[in-house]
Amino acid sequence: GAGVSQTPSNKVTEKGKYVELRCDPISGHTALYWYRQSLGQGPEFLIYFQGTGAADDSGLPNDRFFAVRPEGSVSTLKIQRTERGDSAMYLCASSPGLAGEETQYFGPGTRLLVL
């Protein structure tokens, strides 16, 4: 595709509900990242995939957060039992995943609001 896409662009949910956020990376990019960004802050790392596997999930704040990338392309970030503190912009980025190719290409983000 032309760029990284994320859906939905906005999501409003109620406290305690389950949400899924989707990311379509650039075709051929093996590396995929999820970040969370609060107002006035930089993107905060959540999880990094190389292919289908989670190479580093050390940024996931707790076990309510989970992400998958079953075919090495599209990824879904899943949040269970949402809390008001989960409200933020969720950003996805992809990169070629090769040494010397560290540039990350970000999607437009999903703005999550938990009421």
Partner 1 sequence: SQKIEQNSEALNIQEGKTATLTCNYTNYSPAYLQWYRQDPGRGPVFLLLIRENEKEKRKERLKVTFDTTLKQSLFHITASQPADSATYLCALDLSGGSYIPTFGRGTSLIVHP
Write out the residues near partner 1 by the rule CB under 8 A.
4, 31, 33, 35, 40-45, 48, 50, 55-56, 89, 91, 93, 95, 97, 99, 102-109, 111
How near is the Cβ of 83 to partner 1 at its closest, in Å? 23
Q: Which residues contact 3 (CB under 8 A, 6 or more apart)?
A: 26, 105, 107
Between 9 and 80, CB nearer to partner 1? 9
- Report residue 27 as tokens: 């075709």
CB of 98 to partner 1, least distance (A): 10
Q: What is the largest CA-CA distance in the chain?
A: 43
**CB 4 to partner 1: min, Å:** 8
End-to-end CA distance of the chain: 34
